[in-house]
Amino acid sequence: MTTTTGRPDGARGVPLHVANDVRRTREVVALLHAELPRWGLVVWTAGNVSQRVRVPGGEDLLVIKPSGVTYDDLTAEAMVVCDLDGNRVLGDRSPSSDTAAHAYVYRNRPEVGGVVHTHSTYATAWAARAEPIPCVLTMMADEFVGSIPVGPFAVIGDDSIGRGIVETLAGSRSPAVLMRNHGPFTVGADARAAVKAAVMLEEVARTVHVARQLGEPVEIDPAAIDSLYSRYRHVYGQGGSTPAPEATPTIEQQEIDA
């Protein structure tokens, strides 16, 4: 397969027929990284956003931030392109230390187009307690279709975290998981959807924590959760529906305003 030229040492380059898609995805992912500190979900260089690049007739790629680089320095050119084994194919820096986890999710959840990891305070506090967040808010039914599950403890650096994410979410309709003693991971049809889930997750984690200081929150009946989620998907908003998790939009649809 023909690949781009002029790539740095150690990187293979990307197929020419998706070069424009890769360029636009690097722009989108760079912009979305700025949302994490804006919403108070990360400090220093923690956290990461990635997005899948679908490659017709070939193996998909992912775009993710470089490891240990401050958010102010996360330009589109700084974004690293990897294959779904976590190997760098474009970019002159090492990818995030969570790349193997993201890659595992993409390999095993073909409908997922975006993955986000943060260390947001309240969601991470629930993860430290290894306690699921119960569905006691209509907002949770809307966004997470129930409680937020807890995944197993896993070491950083290989695909153990990704394996835990996939196994935990296989038994849940939630796009979010609290990895024990680590922090939250969210998935979505694209990176923007995963970022939204991360923002909403921290909000409900904080609210439920506060509610528990006042007493025991009352969980929502499962039938009501289904009804709320259906309304949110098909009635809420201006377009008549919210994006379905299984529908992966085109690159043009994924672009956001700067």
Distances 94 to 9, 34, 70, 107 between C-alpha atoms, Å: 12, 20, 14, 20
**Is-catalytic flag, 142?**
yes
Q: In angstroms, rounded to a whole number, what is the distance separating the alpha carbons of residues 117 and 164?
A: 14
201 neighbors 126 (Cβ within 8 angstroms): no
**Is-catalytic flag, 236?**
yes
- Which candidate in 17, 73, 85, 236 is catalytic? 236
Q: In angstroms, rounded to a whole number, what is the distance separating the alpha carbons of residues 124 and 22?
A: 32
Can you tell me which residue has the tokens 């401050």? 70
**Is-catalytic flag, 182?**
yes
- Which candidate in 182, 190, 229, 232 is catalytic? 182
- Which candidate in 142, 159, 229, 232 is catalytic? 142
Can you tell me which residue has the tokens 């995030």? 96
Strand order in the sheet with 183-188: 88-90, 80-83, 61-64, 48-53, 114-117, 183-188, 176-179, 150-151
- Which candidate in 60, 92, 119, 209 is catalytic? 119
Q: In angstroms, rounded to a whole number, what is the distance separating the alpha carbons of residues 33 and 58?
A: 27
Strand partners, 234: none
3-state secondary structure (DSSP) of residue 38: helix
- Which candidate in 83, 102, 117, 159 is catalytic? 117
Residue of 203, 197, 54, 204 whose CA lies nearest to 115: 197
Q: In angstroms, rounded to a whole number, what is the distance separating the alpha carbons of residues 228 and 172?
A: 17
Residue of 79, 106, 84 whose CA lies nearest to 94: 79
Active site positions, annotated? 117, 119, 142, 182, 236
